[in-house]
Amino acid sequence: MRVEIDEHSGCCNGVRRAIEQAEQVLSQNGALYSLGAIVHNETEMDRLRHKGLSTIGYEDLKNLQDTVVLFRAHGEPPAVYNIAKGNNIEIIDCTCPVVLQLQKRIAATYHEISPKGGQIIIFGKNGHAEVNGLIGQVQGNALVLEKVEQLHSAISDRRIDLTKPIALFSQTTKDPQQFQQLGELLRTAVLEACGDDSQLSVFNTICRQVSSRHPNLIEFAKGHTAIIFVCGKESSNGKILSQLCASVNPRTYSVEHHNEINPQWFGPDDFVGICGATSTPKWQLEEVANYLKNL
């Protein structure tokens, strides 16, 4: 059996930077608070916890004073920064530059179109940390659509006013093809309602590093007889990318840890590809590869 790791897989730049900064502080102080999980990968979080990382929630933050807290790559709304400032908390701000740019763009667009009755729509997962941060830029005045299919009901329920300015954004880790489909459907609906789409703005705010993984993974999955996709069970990006692999290679197995691998999945002639989400570190992919090579 041959084994190959996808060279394009591994943590995205934003997550990798947050992990590296956390490790740097932990090596100096032996302890650090993180507001929320740095990465949606329980195996990696266990490794960081053993180094002294403690994950806290927003209620915990309100009760902390005079300490240091890391803000993860997903970004936070302005209200959270105000809490930290009021409690004399030093922030290690690891907000991904791509997310930070998106936050600023949404805030500026909202400021421009809200006086005209305009609306912000975000293609993303309700409750996701990044989406919460984005909604916070507009005081909660945004509609979140998780699936393309939800557009029609949002229009029929009049949660979307097609006659007013609309700005469509995306969570940075969403499927680019689905976002394109959503944008096209929304444009068609606006044209049918108004005969003019000049008040519709569609901003493709999906991270380029993430979007490029889609075509790369399709080719990688096609080029192997079986795929092991490594990701945390809570990773939204992982669910999207593992489903993408499975769509072109039915022998795709999604695991969080090498202990979940069943040796009976493979035969001696298999060429197994190992890949992962933007929340999957390289060391975890290598661990899985070594496990398979020693079967």
Encode pLDDT of 153-212 as tens digits. 999 999 999 999 999 999 998 989 999 999 999 999 999 999 999 999 999 999 988 888
- Give the chain's mean pLDDT: 95
Residue 222 has pLDDT above 90, yes or no: yes
* pLDDT for position 46: 95
CA neighbor of 231 nearest in space, from 51, 37, 55, 44: 44
Q: What is the mean pLDDT of residues 117-143?
A: 95
Rounded Cα distance, 261 and 50, in Å: 25
Q: Any idea how long the chain is?
A: 295
CA neighbor of 93 nearest in space, from 49, 132, 35: 35
Residue 26 has pLDDT above 90, yes or no: yes
CATH class as words, domain 13-95:
alpha beta
Report pLDDT digits (tens) over 28-83: 999 999 999 999 899 999 999 999 999 999 999 999 999 999 999 999 999 999 99
Quick check: do 2-10+210-293 and 13-95 share a fold? no
Q: What is the mean pLDDT of residues 125-149?
A: 95
Q: Which residues pair with 122 in a beta bridge?
A: 144, 169
Domain 98-206 in CATH 3.40.1010.20? yes
* Alpha-helical regions (H) of the chain: 13-29, 42-50, 58-63, 78-86, 97-113, 129-136, 150-156, 176-194, 208-211, 213-222, 236-248, 282-293
- Give the count of alpha carbons within 13 A of 254, CB side only: 19
Residue 249 has pLDDT above 90, yes or no: yes
Q: What is the pTM of this model?
A: 0.88
Report pLDDT digits (tens) over 33-43: 999 999 989 99
* pLDDT for position 234: 83
Q: Which pair of structure tokens corresponds to residue 294?
A: 């020693």
CA neighbor of 287 nearest in space, from 28, 14, 10: 10
pLDDT more than 90, % of the chain: 91
Q: Which residues are catalytic?
A: 130
Burial of 235 (0-12, 13-18, 19+ CB in 10 A): buried
Domain boundaries, the chain: 2-10+210-293, 13-95, 98-206
Phi and psi angles of residue 91, each rounded to the nearest 5 degrees, phi first: -100, 130
Residue 6: band (very low, low, confident or very high) from pLDDT cuts 50, 70, 90: very high
* pLDDT for position 295: 84
Q: Which pair of structure tokens corresponds to residue 229?
A: 């996709």
* pLDDT for position 288: 96
Q: Which pair of structure tokens corresponds to residue 61?
A: 């933050």
Please answer whether residues 179 and 206 qualify as being in contact, where contact means their C-beta atoms are separated by less than 8 angstroms: yes
Residue 25 has pLDDT above 90, yes or no: yes
Rounded Cα distance, 118 and 116, in Å: 5
Rounded Cα distance, 127 and 68, in Å: 25
Q: Give CATH for domain 2-10+210-293.
A: 3.40.1010.20
